[in-house]
Chain A
Amino acid sequence: MQRLIWIFWPAFVVAGVAEILFFTMIDPKELYLFGEPVRLSPLATYSIGFLGFWMVCAASNLLTCFMMRSADEVNRRKDRGGQGGSSRRTCG
Protein backbone atom coordinates (compact mmCIF):
# COMPACT_ATOMS: atom_id res chain seq x y z
CA MET A 1 0.00 0.00 0.00
CA GLN A 2 2.70 2.44 1.05
CA ARG A 3 4.56 1.67 -2.12
CA LEU A 4 1.50 2.45 -4.23
CA ILE A 5 1.13 5.75 -2.40
CA TRP A 6 4.75 6.62 -3.03
CA ILE A 7 4.40 5.91 -6.71
CA PHE A 8 1.05 7.47 -7.46
CA TRP A 9 0.57 10.27 -4.98
CA PRO A 10 3.59 12.50 -5.75
CA ALA A 11 2.90 11.77 -9.42
CA PHE A 12 -0.65 13.05 -8.97
CA VAL A 13 0.54 16.32 -7.43
CA VAL A 14 3.20 16.92 -10.07
CA ALA A 15 0.80 15.97 -12.85
CA GLY A 16 -1.63 18.58 -11.54
CA VAL A 17 1.05 21.27 -11.72
CA ALA A 18 2.18 20.09 -15.16
CA GLU A 19 -1.40 20.11 -16.42
CA ILE A 20 -1.97 23.67 -15.27
CA LEU A 21 1.30 24.93 -16.76
CA PHE A 22 0.89 23.05 -20.02
CA PHE A 23 -2.70 23.98 -20.76
CA THR A 24 -2.32 27.56 -19.60
CA MET A 25 0.15 28.02 -22.39
CA ILE A 26 -1.36 25.70 -24.97
CA ASP A 27 -4.94 25.69 -26.15
CA PRO A 28 -6.14 22.11 -26.73
CA LYS A 29 -7.79 23.30 -29.93
CA GLU A 30 -4.36 24.05 -31.33
CA LEU A 31 -2.86 20.64 -30.64
CA TYR A 32 -1.89 18.22 -33.37
CA LEU A 33 -1.76 14.47 -33.03
CA PHE A 34 0.28 12.63 -35.68
CA GLY A 35 -0.10 15.59 -38.01
CA GLU A 36 -3.88 15.73 -37.61
CA PRO A 37 -5.67 18.34 -35.51
CA VAL A 38 -6.98 16.81 -32.29
CA ARG A 39 -10.69 16.18 -32.77
CA LEU A 40 -11.49 15.31 -29.17
CA SER A 41 -13.64 17.61 -27.09
CA PRO A 42 -11.56 20.02 -24.97
CA LEU A 43 -12.72 18.27 -21.81
CA ALA A 44 -11.45 14.95 -23.16
CA THR A 45 -8.12 16.53 -24.12
CA TYR A 46 -7.67 18.02 -20.66
CA SER A 47 -8.60 14.73 -19.02
CA ILE A 48 -6.38 12.58 -21.20
CA GLY A 49 -3.61 15.14 -20.77
CA PHE A 50 -3.87 14.91 -17.02
CA LEU A 51 -4.01 11.12 -16.96
CA GLY A 52 -1.06 11.05 -19.34
CA PHE A 53 1.02 13.37 -17.15
CA TRP A 54 0.05 11.29 -14.16
CA MET A 55 1.16 8.04 -15.72
CA VAL A 56 4.46 9.51 -16.92
CA CYS A 57 5.20 10.88 -13.45
CA ALA A 58 4.18 7.57 -11.88
CA ALA A 59 6.54 5.73 -14.20
CA SER A 60 9.35 7.99 -13.05
CA ASN A 61 8.47 7.34 -9.40
CA LEU A 62 8.36 3.64 -10.08
CA LEU A 63 11.93 3.78 -11.37
CA THR A 64 13.03 5.88 -8.40
CA CYS A 65 11.50 3.34 -6.04
CA PHE A 66 13.16 0.54 -7.90
CA MET A 67 16.55 2.21 -7.75
CA MET A 68 16.27 2.95 -4.06
CA ARG A 69 16.24 -0.73 -3.28
CA SER A 70 19.53 -1.87 -1.88
CA ALA A 71 21.46 -4.68 -3.52
CA ASP A 72 20.32 -7.04 -0.78
CA GLU A 73 16.71 -6.38 -1.48
CA VAL A 74 17.02 -6.86 -5.21
CA ASN A 75 19.00 -10.08 -4.89
CA ARG A 76 17.02 -11.48 -2.05
CA ARG A 77 18.76 -14.67 -1.07
CA LYS A 78 16.89 -17.52 0.46
CA ASP A 79 18.71 -17.44 3.79
CA ARG A 80 17.72 -13.79 4.12
CA GLY A 81 14.11 -14.40 3.31
CA GLY A 82 13.20 -12.96 6.69
CA GLN A 83 14.43 -9.53 5.62
CA GLY A 84 11.73 -9.19 3.04
CA GLY A 85 9.75 -6.97 5.38
CA SER A 86 12.56 -4.45 5.63
CA SER A 87 12.07 -3.41 2.02
CA ARG A 88 9.02 -1.49 3.19
CA ARG A 89 11.17 1.06 4.87
CA THR A 90 13.47 1.69 1.95
CA CYS A 91 10.79 2.05 -0.70
CA GLY A 92 10.48 -0.35 -3.57
Chain B
Amino acid sequence: MWFTQALYYGLCWLPWNGRQAVLFDLVERKFYIFGLVFWPQDVFFLAVLLIISAYALFLFTAVGGRLWCGYACPQTVYTEIFMWIEQKIEGNHNARIRLDRQSMNARKASLRGLKYAAWAAVALWTGFTFVGYFTPIQTLWNELWQFSLGPWETFWFLFYGGFTYLMAGHMREQVCLYMCPYARFQGVMFDPDTLVITYDPERGEPRGARSRKIDYRAKGLGDCVDCGICVQVCPTGIDIRNGLQYECIGCAACVDACDQVMDKVGYRRGLIRYTTENAMEQHWGWKDILAHIVRPRILIYTSILAVITVAFVWGLATKATLRVDVIRDRATLAREVEDGLIENVYRLQVMNVSESPQRYVLSTMGLDRIQLMAEPIMDVPAATTKSFTVQVRVPPESAKKGSHTIYFDVKSTIDEKVAVHEKATFLMP
Protein backbone atom coordinates (compact mmCIF):
# COMPACT_ATOMS: atom_id res chain seq x y z
CA MET B 1 0.00 0.00 0.00
CA TRP B 2 2.76 2.46 0.89
CA PHE B 3 4.50 1.41 -2.28
CA THR B 4 1.64 2.52 -4.55
CA GLN B 5 1.42 5.84 -2.77
CA ALA B 6 5.15 6.50 -2.82
CA LEU B 7 4.90 5.84 -6.56
CA TYR B 8 1.93 8.18 -6.99
CA TYR B 9 3.30 11.07 -4.94
CA GLY B 10 6.90 10.67 -6.03
CA LEU B 11 6.85 9.82 -9.72
CA CYS B 12 5.69 13.24 -10.87
CA TRP B 13 8.81 14.84 -9.35
CA LEU B 14 11.22 12.58 -11.18
CA PRO B 15 13.16 14.34 -13.95
CA TRP B 16 14.07 12.63 -17.21
CA ASN B 17 16.06 14.13 -20.09
CA GLY B 18 15.37 17.62 -18.81
CA ARG B 19 11.63 17.13 -18.46
CA GLN B 20 9.24 15.38 -16.13
CA ALA B 21 9.57 11.58 -16.45
CA VAL B 22 5.84 10.92 -16.40
CA LEU B 23 3.79 13.73 -17.83
CA PHE B 24 0.48 13.63 -19.66
CA ASP B 25 0.82 16.85 -21.58
CA LEU B 26 -2.73 17.51 -22.74
CA VAL B 27 -1.95 20.90 -24.22
CA GLU B 28 0.70 19.52 -26.57
CA ARG B 29 -1.21 16.22 -26.87
CA LYS B 30 1.81 14.15 -25.94
CA PHE B 31 2.16 11.65 -23.13
CA TYR B 32 5.65 11.14 -21.77
CA ILE B 33 6.37 7.97 -19.84
CA PHE B 34 10.11 7.82 -19.16
CA GLY B 35 11.83 7.39 -22.52
CA LEU B 36 8.60 6.86 -24.43
CA VAL B 37 6.50 9.54 -26.04
CA PHE B 38 2.92 8.71 -26.93
CA TRP B 39 0.88 10.64 -29.46
CA PRO B 40 -2.85 10.45 -30.01
CA GLN B 41 -2.11 7.94 -32.79
CA ASP B 42 -0.79 5.56 -30.16
CA VAL B 43 -4.15 5.14 -28.48
CA PHE B 44 -3.91 1.49 -29.52
CA PHE B 45 -1.27 0.98 -26.83
CA LEU B 46 -3.61 2.42 -24.24
CA ALA B 47 -6.31 -0.02 -25.28
CA VAL B 48 -3.90 -2.95 -25.03
CA LEU B 49 -2.71 -1.73 -21.67
CA LEU B 50 -6.30 -1.70 -20.42
CA ILE B 51 -6.80 -5.26 -21.65
CA ILE B 52 -3.63 -6.33 -19.84
CA SER B 53 -4.84 -4.66 -16.64
CA ALA B 54 -8.20 -6.40 -16.93
CA TYR B 55 -6.62 -9.84 -17.36
CA ALA B 56 -4.22 -9.19 -14.51
CA LEU B 57 -7.21 -8.32 -12.36
CA PHE B 58 -9.01 -11.52 -13.39
CA LEU B 59 -5.92 -13.57 -12.59
CA PHE B 60 -5.27 -12.03 -9.19
CA THR B 61 -8.93 -12.28 -8.25
CA ALA B 62 -9.14 -15.93 -9.22
CA VAL B 63 -6.07 -16.76 -7.15
CA GLY B 64 -6.41 -14.57 -4.11
CA GLY B 65 -9.84 -12.99 -4.03
CA ARG B 66 -10.02 -9.25 -3.63
CA LEU B 67 -6.30 -8.52 -3.56
CA TRP B 68 -6.85 -5.43 -5.65
CA CYS B 69 -9.08 -3.86 -3.00
CA GLY B 70 -6.66 -4.20 -0.15
CA TYR B 71 -3.43 -3.28 -1.88
CA ALA B 72 -4.02 -1.12 -4.89
CA CYS B 73 -7.50 0.39 -4.94
CA PRO B 74 -7.13 4.15 -4.32
CA GLN B 75 -10.35 4.15 -2.35
CA THR B 76 -9.09 1.62 0.19
CA VAL B 77 -5.63 3.11 0.29
CA TYR B 78 -6.80 6.67 0.99
CA THR B 79 -9.36 5.41 3.47
CA GLU B 80 -6.57 3.62 5.30
CA ILE B 81 -4.35 6.68 5.27
CA PHE B 82 -7.22 8.77 6.62
CA MET B 83 -8.04 6.16 9.27
CA TRP B 84 -4.40 6.03 10.27
CA ILE B 85 -4.41 9.81 10.77
CA GLU B 86 -7.64 9.52 12.73
CA GLN B 87 -6.15 6.89 14.98
CA LYS B 88 -2.97 8.90 15.58
CA ILE B 89 -4.93 12.00 16.53
CA GLU B 90 -8.03 10.72 18.24
CA GLY B 91 -6.84 7.41 19.61
CA ASN B 92 -8.21 3.90 19.09
CA HIS B 93 -11.76 2.76 18.40
CA ASN B 94 -12.94 3.02 22.01
CA ALA B 95 -11.34 6.42 22.56
CA ARG B 96 -13.11 7.69 19.46
CA ILE B 97 -16.48 6.41 20.64
CA ARG B 98 -15.93 8.19 23.96
CA LEU B 99 -14.97 11.34 22.09
CA ASP B 100 -18.10 11.07 19.95
CA ARG B 101 -20.29 10.89 23.05
CA GLN B 102 -18.74 13.96 24.68
CA SER B 103 -20.41 17.27 24.24
CA MET B 104 -18.27 19.84 22.43
CA ASN B 105 -15.39 21.04 24.59
CA ALA B 106 -11.97 22.53 24.01
CA ARG B 107 -10.21 19.17 23.78
CA LYS B 108 -12.74 17.68 21.40
CA ALA B 109 -12.76 20.79 19.22
CA SER B 110 -8.98 20.86 18.97
CA LEU B 111 -8.71 17.13 18.24
CA ARG B 112 -11.41 17.29 15.61
CA GLY B 113 -9.93 20.44 14.10
CA LEU B 114 -6.50 18.84 13.94
CA LYS B 115 -7.91 15.71 12.33
CA TYR B 116 -9.84 17.61 9.67
CA ALA B 117 -6.81 19.82 8.98
CA ALA B 118 -4.56 16.78 8.56
CA TRP B 119 -7.10 15.14 6.26
CA ALA B 120 -7.40 18.32 4.24
CA ALA B 121 -3.62 18.54 3.92
CA VAL B 122 -3.38 14.98 2.58
CA ALA B 123 -6.34 15.55 0.26
CA LEU B 124 -4.93 18.79 -1.12
CA TRP B 125 -1.54 17.23 -1.64
CA THR B 126 -3.22 14.39 -3.51
CA GLY B 127 -5.12 16.86 -5.67
CA PHE B 128 -1.96 18.82 -6.37
CA THR B 129 -0.11 15.66 -7.35
CA PHE B 130 -2.96 14.70 -9.67
CA VAL B 131 -2.77 18.00 -11.53
CA GLY B 132 1.02 17.63 -11.55
CA TYR B 133 0.69 14.70 -13.95
CA PHE B 134 -0.92 16.96 -16.52
CA THR B 135 0.95 20.22 -16.02
CA PRO B 136 4.69 20.09 -15.24
CA ILE B 137 4.74 19.90 -11.47
CA GLN B 138 7.76 22.18 -11.00
CA THR B 139 5.97 24.99 -12.81
CA LEU B 140 2.82 24.20 -10.91
CA TRP B 141 4.66 24.36 -7.60
CA ASN B 142 6.10 27.79 -8.39
CA GLU B 143 2.72 29.02 -9.59
CA LEU B 144 1.10 27.81 -6.42
CA TRP B 145 3.34 29.99 -4.28
CA GLN B 146 2.96 32.98 -6.53
CA PHE B 147 -0.82 32.51 -6.49
CA SER B 148 -0.82 32.38 -10.25
CA LEU B 149 -2.35 28.96 -10.83
CA GLY B 150 -4.53 28.85 -13.92
CA PRO B 151 -8.30 28.69 -13.30
CA TRP B 152 -8.65 25.11 -14.57
CA GLU B 153 -5.58 23.90 -12.72
CA THR B 154 -7.08 25.35 -9.55
CA PHE B 155 -10.41 23.75 -10.33
CA TRP B 156 -9.01 20.25 -10.85
CA PHE B 157 -6.69 20.62 -7.88
CA LEU B 158 -9.60 21.42 -5.57
CA PHE B 159 -11.96 18.99 -7.33
CA TYR B 160 -9.66 16.00 -6.93
CA GLY B 161 -8.56 17.04 -3.46
CA GLY B 162 -12.14 17.64 -2.38
CA PHE B 163 -13.30 14.27 -3.60
CA THR B 164 -10.37 12.53 -1.94
CA TYR B 165 -11.44 14.15 1.31
CA LEU B 166 -15.08 13.21 0.84
CA MET B 167 -14.43 9.63 -0.28
CA ALA B 168 -11.69 8.73 2.18
CA GLY B 169 -12.90 10.80 5.10
CA HIS B 170 -16.64 10.35 5.01
CA MET B 171 -17.85 7.86 2.41
CA ARG B 172 -15.28 5.13 3.03
CA GLU B 173 -16.76 1.65 2.54
CA GLN B 174 -19.99 3.14 1.22
CA VAL B 175 -18.02 3.58 -1.99
CA CYS B 176 -17.26 -0.15 -2.11
CA LEU B 177 -20.89 -1.01 -1.40
CA TYR B 178 -22.70 1.35 -3.73
CA MET B 179 -20.21 2.66 -6.26
CA CYS B 180 -17.68 -0.02 -7.02
CA PRO B 181 -18.42 -1.99 -10.21
CA TYR B 182 -15.68 -4.49 -9.43
CA ALA B 183 -17.44 -5.52 -6.23
CA ARG B 184 -20.46 -6.53 -8.26
CA PHE B 185 -18.77 -8.74 -10.80
CA GLN B 186 -15.80 -10.11 -8.88
CA GLY B 187 -17.96 -13.10 -7.92
CA VAL B 188 -17.78 -14.58 -11.41
CA MET B 189 -14.00 -14.86 -11.13
CA PHE B 190 -14.21 -16.82 -7.92
CA ASP B 191 -14.18 -20.59 -7.84
CA PRO B 192 -13.93 -23.09 -4.98
CA ASP B 193 -10.14 -22.78 -5.04
CA THR B 194 -10.03 -19.00 -4.62
CA LEU B 195 -8.61 -17.69 -1.37
CA VAL B 196 -11.31 -15.83 0.52
CA ILE B 197 -12.19 -14.90 4.07
CA THR B 198 -14.27 -17.77 5.34
CA TYR B 199 -16.02 -18.74 8.51
CA ASP B 200 -15.71 -22.42 9.35
CA PRO B 201 -19.31 -23.43 10.06
CA GLU B 202 -18.42 -27.04 10.67
CA ARG B 203 -16.29 -25.97 13.60
CA GLY B 204 -18.29 -23.01 14.77
CA GLU B 205 -21.88 -24.25 14.68
CA PRO B 206 -24.10 -24.43 16.57
CA ARG B 207 -22.99 -21.11 17.92
CA GLY B 208 -24.01 -19.74 21.27
CA ALA B 209 -22.95 -18.18 24.53
CA ARG B 210 -21.64 -20.57 27.12
CA SER B 211 -20.25 -20.64 30.62
CA ARG B 212 -16.55 -21.26 30.87
CA LYS B 213 -17.04 -23.98 33.43
CA ILE B 214 -19.01 -26.43 31.34
CA ASP B 215 -17.77 -28.63 28.55
CA TYR B 216 -19.43 -26.92 25.60
CA ARG B 217 -18.83 -29.81 23.26
CA ALA B 218 -20.80 -32.10 25.53
CA LYS B 219 -23.65 -29.64 25.30
CA GLY B 220 -23.43 -29.85 21.53
CA LEU B 221 -22.09 -26.33 20.99
CA GLY B 222 -19.54 -25.33 18.35
CA ASP B 223 -16.55 -23.03 18.75
CA CYS B 224 -18.39 -19.82 17.91
CA VAL B 225 -19.24 -18.05 21.13
CA ASP B 226 -21.58 -15.71 19.25
CA CYS B 227 -19.88 -12.61 20.66
CA GLY B 228 -20.77 -10.70 17.51
CA ILE B 229 -17.39 -8.97 17.38
CA CYS B 230 -16.80 -10.10 13.80
CA VAL B 231 -19.94 -8.20 12.78
CA GLN B 232 -18.97 -5.14 14.84
CA VAL B 233 -15.53 -4.76 13.30
CA CYS B 234 -16.70 -5.35 9.75
CA PRO B 235 -16.38 -2.04 7.89
CA THR B 236 -19.18 -3.00 5.53
CA GLY B 237 -21.35 -4.34 8.32
CA ILE B 238 -21.90 -7.89 7.12
CA ASP B 239 -21.96 -11.11 9.09
CA ILE B 240 -19.25 -13.30 7.59
CA ARG B 241 -20.87 -16.30 9.27
CA ASN B 242 -23.60 -16.14 6.64
CA GLY B 243 -21.04 -17.05 4.00
CA LEU B 244 -19.18 -14.98 1.44
CA GLN B 245 -21.07 -11.88 0.34
CA TYR B 246 -20.29 -9.34 -2.32
CA GLU B 247 -19.90 -6.63 0.32
CA CYS B 248 -16.85 -8.38 1.77
CA ILE B 249 -13.79 -6.39 0.76
CA GLY B 250 -11.40 -8.97 2.17
CA CYS B 251 -9.95 -6.61 4.78
CA ALA B 252 -9.54 -9.48 7.29
CA ALA B 253 -10.67 -7.32 10.24
CA CYS B 254 -13.00 -10.14 11.34
CA VAL B 255 -10.14 -12.66 11.13
CA ASP B 256 -8.02 -10.65 13.56
CA ALA B 257 -10.97 -9.92 15.86
CA CYS B 258 -12.05 -13.56 15.99
CA ASP B 259 -8.51 -14.77 16.62
CA GLN B 260 -8.30 -12.45 19.63
CA VAL B 261 -11.55 -13.85 20.99
CA MET B 262 -10.39 -17.41 20.38
CA ASP B 263 -7.18 -16.65 22.32
CA LYS B 264 -9.20 -15.20 25.17
CA VAL B 265 -11.52 -18.18 25.54
CA GLY B 266 -8.66 -20.58 24.94
CA TYR B 267 -9.83 -22.14 21.67
CA ARG B 268 -7.81 -22.77 18.56
CA ARG B 269 -7.40 -19.80 16.22
CA GLY B 270 -8.74 -19.70 12.69
CA LEU B 271 -12.48 -20.05 13.13
CA ILE B 272 -12.61 -17.28 10.56
CA ARG B 273 -9.63 -17.51 8.25
CA TYR B 274 -8.18 -16.83 4.84
CA THR B 275 -8.70 -20.05 2.93
CA THR B 276 -10.51 -21.64 -0.01
CA GLU B 277 -13.92 -23.26 -0.14
CA ASN B 278 -12.47 -26.64 -1.07
CA ALA B 279 -9.82 -26.43 1.61
CA MET B 280 -12.45 -25.69 4.21
CA GLU B 281 -14.64 -28.62 3.21
CA GLN B 282 -11.89 -31.14 2.72
CA HIS B 283 -9.69 -29.99 5.59
CA TRP B 284 -6.68 -29.19 3.44
CA GLY B 285 -3.51 -27.60 4.71
CA TRP B 286 -1.61 -24.82 2.97
CA LYS B 287 0.27 -27.34 0.88
CA ASP B 288 -2.92 -28.54 -0.81
CA ILE B 289 -4.19 -24.99 -1.27
CA LEU B 290 -0.98 -24.00 -3.02
CA ALA B 291 -1.10 -27.13 -5.16
CA HIS B 292 -4.57 -26.14 -6.34
CA ILE B 293 -3.45 -22.75 -7.56
CA VAL B 294 -2.46 -24.43 -10.80
CA ARG B 295 -5.83 -25.13 -12.41
CA PRO B 296 -7.26 -24.61 -15.91
CA ARG B 297 -8.77 -21.20 -15.16
CA ILE B 298 -5.51 -19.85 -13.83
CA LEU B 299 -3.51 -21.36 -16.68
CA ILE B 300 -5.82 -19.82 -19.27
CA TYR B 301 -5.69 -16.38 -17.66
CA THR B 302 -1.92 -16.57 -17.30
CA SER B 303 -1.32 -17.62 -20.89
CA ILE B 304 -3.60 -14.94 -22.35
CA LEU B 305 -1.93 -12.38 -20.14
CA ALA B 306 1.53 -13.54 -21.15
CA VAL B 307 0.71 -13.42 -24.88
CA ILE B 308 -0.76 -9.93 -24.73
CA THR B 309 2.07 -8.63 -22.57
CA VAL B 310 4.71 -9.97 -24.93
CA ALA B 311 2.87 -8.43 -27.89
CA PHE B 312 2.63 -5.13 -26.03
CA VAL B 313 6.31 -5.01 -25.16
CA TRP B 314 7.25 -6.02 -28.69
CA GLY B 315 4.99 -3.31 -30.08
CA LEU B 316 6.59 -0.72 -27.83
CA ALA B 317 10.10 -1.82 -28.67
CA THR B 318 9.48 -1.61 -32.39
CA LYS B 319 7.39 1.56 -32.24
CA ALA B 320 8.24 3.71 -35.25
CA THR B 321 10.14 6.87 -34.36
CA LEU B 322 9.24 8.59 -37.60
CA ARG B 323 5.89 9.07 -39.23
CA VAL B 324 5.10 10.85 -42.45
CA ASP B 325 1.71 11.89 -43.73
CA VAL B 326 1.47 13.06 -47.31
CA ILE B 327 -1.40 15.39 -48.07
CA ARG B 328 -1.99 16.63 -51.60
CA ASP B 329 -2.33 20.36 -51.83
CA ARG B 330 -5.99 20.86 -52.69
CA ALA B 331 -5.68 24.38 -54.03
CA THR B 332 -3.50 23.40 -56.95
CA LEU B 333 -4.28 20.02 -58.43
CA ALA B 334 -1.66 20.04 -61.13
CA ARG B 335 -0.14 22.81 -63.17
CA GLU B 336 2.20 23.32 -66.03
CA VAL B 337 5.38 25.19 -65.18
CA GLU B 338 8.40 26.33 -67.21
CA ASP B 339 9.82 23.89 -69.78
CA GLY B 340 6.39 22.24 -69.99
CA LEU B 341 6.93 20.24 -66.83
CA ILE B 342 3.91 19.21 -64.78
CA GLU B 343 4.00 20.14 -61.12
CA ASN B 344 2.04 18.70 -58.17
CA VAL B 345 2.25 20.18 -54.71
CA TYR B 346 2.19 18.14 -51.51
CA ARG B 347 2.29 18.89 -47.83
CA LEU B 348 4.41 16.49 -45.83
CA GLN B 349 3.68 16.19 -42.15
CA VAL B 350 6.86 14.82 -40.67
CA MET B 351 6.47 13.55 -37.15
CA ASN B 352 9.62 12.95 -35.17
CA VAL B 353 8.43 10.71 -32.37
CA SER B 354 11.92 10.18 -30.99
CA GLU B 355 13.47 12.07 -28.11
CA SER B 356 16.28 13.68 -30.08
CA PRO B 357 16.29 16.21 -32.93
CA GLN B 358 16.56 14.53 -36.33
CA ARG B 359 17.69 15.41 -39.80
CA TYR B 360 15.90 13.61 -42.61
CA VAL B 361 16.61 13.35 -46.30
CA LEU B 362 13.69 13.36 -48.69
CA SER B 363 13.64 11.71 -52.08
CA THR B 364 10.92 10.78 -54.51
CA MET B 365 10.44 8.03 -57.09
CA GLY B 366 7.80 6.21 -59.11
CA LEU B 367 7.82 8.07 -62.43
CA ASP B 368 10.43 8.55 -65.09
CA ARG B 369 12.65 11.62 -64.54
CA ILE B 370 10.72 12.72 -61.51
CA GLN B 371 12.22 15.80 -59.81
CA LEU B 372 11.94 17.12 -56.33
CA MET B 373 11.80 20.91 -56.33
CA ALA B 374 12.26 21.41 -52.60
CA GLU B 375 15.17 21.32 -50.20
CA PRO B 376 15.67 17.60 -49.54
CA ILE B 377 16.99 18.15 -46.02
CA MET B 378 14.38 18.35 -43.29
CA ASP B 379 15.28 19.18 -39.70
CA VAL B 380 12.70 18.24 -37.11
CA PRO B 381 13.25 18.93 -33.39
CA ALA B 382 12.66 16.21 -30.80
CA ALA B 383 9.09 15.03 -30.37
CA THR B 384 7.58 17.49 -32.81
CA THR B 385 5.57 17.50 -35.99
CA LYS B 386 6.73 19.76 -38.78
CA SER B 387 5.01 20.48 -42.01
CA PHE B 388 6.91 20.87 -45.30
CA THR B 389 5.56 21.97 -48.66
CA VAL B 390 7.06 19.98 -51.48
CA GLN B 391 6.78 20.45 -55.25
CA VAL B 392 7.27 17.50 -57.53
CA ARG B 393 7.81 17.92 -61.27
CA VAL B 394 7.51 15.37 -64.02
CA PRO B 395 8.01 15.84 -67.77
CA PRO B 396 4.69 15.34 -69.61
CA GLU B 397 6.04 12.44 -71.68
CA SER B 398 6.80 10.38 -68.53
CA ALA B 399 3.23 9.42 -67.86
CA LYS B 400 -0.20 9.26 -69.42
CA LYS B 401 -3.11 11.42 -68.41
CA GLY B 402 -4.64 10.45 -65.09
CA SER B 403 -3.42 9.65 -61.63
CA HIS B 404 -0.18 7.81 -60.94
CA THR B 405 1.36 6.40 -57.82
CA ILE B 406 4.60 7.95 -56.65
CA TYR B 407 6.56 7.41 -53.46
CA PHE B 408 8.27 9.68 -51.00
CA ASP B 409 11.23 8.31 -49.11
CA VAL B 410 12.16 9.95 -45.85
CA LYS B 411 15.38 8.69 -44.28
CA SER B 412 17.12 9.73 -41.14
CA THR B 413 20.72 10.81 -41.57
CA ILE B 414 21.49 9.71 -38.03
CA ASP B 415 19.99 6.25 -37.93
CA GLU B 416 19.72 4.38 -41.22
CA LYS B 417 17.01 2.13 -39.95
CA VAL B 418 14.67 5.05 -39.47
CA ALA B 419 13.03 5.38 -42.86
CA VAL B 420 9.55 5.77 -44.23
CA HIS B 421 8.32 4.84 -47.71
CA GLU B 422 5.08 6.73 -48.23
CA LYS B 423 2.66 6.50 -51.12
CA ALA B 424 1.13 9.52 -52.91
CA THR B 425 -0.75 10.18 -56.13
CA PHE B 426 0.52 12.34 -58.91
CA LEU B 427 -2.07 13.89 -61.21
CA MET B 428 -1.32 14.30 -64.87
CA PRO B 429 -3.68 16.75 -66.55
CA of A13 to CA of B179 in the docked complex: distance in angstroms?
Answer: 10
Decide if A43 touches B40 in the complex (CB within 8 Å). no
Q: How large is the interface on A (under 10, 10 to 19, 20 to 34, 35 or more residues)?
A: 10 to 19
- Apart from A5-B179, A24-B43, A27-B29, list 17 A-B contacts with CB within 8 A: A2-B178, A13-B181, A20-B46, A23-B26, A24-B40, A25-B40, A41-B150, A41-B152, A42-B26, A42-B27, A43-B27, A43-B150, A43-B153, A44-B151, A47-B152, A47-B155, A47-B156
Residue of A nearest to B179 (CB): A9
Please report B residues at the A interface, Cβ cutoff 8 Å: 26-27, 29, 40, 43, 46, 134-135, 150-153, 155-156, 178-179, 181
Q: How many angstroms from the CA of A25 to the CA of B29 in the assembled complex? A: 11
Give the shortest distance, in Å, between A8 (CB) and chain B (any CB): 10
A26 to chain B, nearest CB (A): 9
**Set of chain B residues within 8 Å of A41, measured between Cβ atoms:** 27, 150, 152
Binding site for B on A (CB under 8 A): 2, 5-6, 9, 13, 20, 23-25, 27, 41-44, 46-47
Number of A-B contacts defined by CB within 8 Å: 31
Say whether chain A's binding surface is mostly helix, strand, loop, or mixed. Answer: helix
Interface contact A5-B178, CB-CB below 8 Å: yes
Which residues on the B side are within 8 Å of A43 (C-beta)? Answer: 26-27, 134-135, 150, 152-153
Q: Which residues on B sit within 8 Å (CB–CB) of A23?
A: 26
Residues of A within 8 A of B153 (CB): 43
Q: Which residues of A contact B46 (CB under 8 A)?
A: 20
Bound CA span A47–B150, Å: 12
**A25 and chain B: residue at smallest CB distance:** B40
Using Cβ atoms and an 8 Å threshold, which residues of chain A touch B156? 47
- Nearest Cβ distance between residue A87 and chain B, in whole angstroms? 16
Cβ distance A46 to chain B, nearest Cβ, rounded Å: 6
Contacts of A6 in B (CB 8 A): 178
Smallest CB-CB separation from B155: which chain A residue? A47
Bound together, the chains give a CA A27 to CA B29 distance in angstroms of: 8
Question: Which residues of chain B come closer than 8 Å to A44, judged between CB atoms?
Answer: 151-152
Quote the shortest CB–CB distance from B104 to chain A (angstroms).
25
Contacts of B150 in A (CB 8 A): 41, 43
- With most chain B CB atoms within 10 A of its CB, the pick from A20, A23, A27, A43 is A43
Task: Name A40's closest neighbour in chain B (CB-CB).
Answer: B152
Shortest Cβ distance from A6 into B: residue: B178
**Structural contact, B179 and A46, CB atoms closer than 8 A:** no
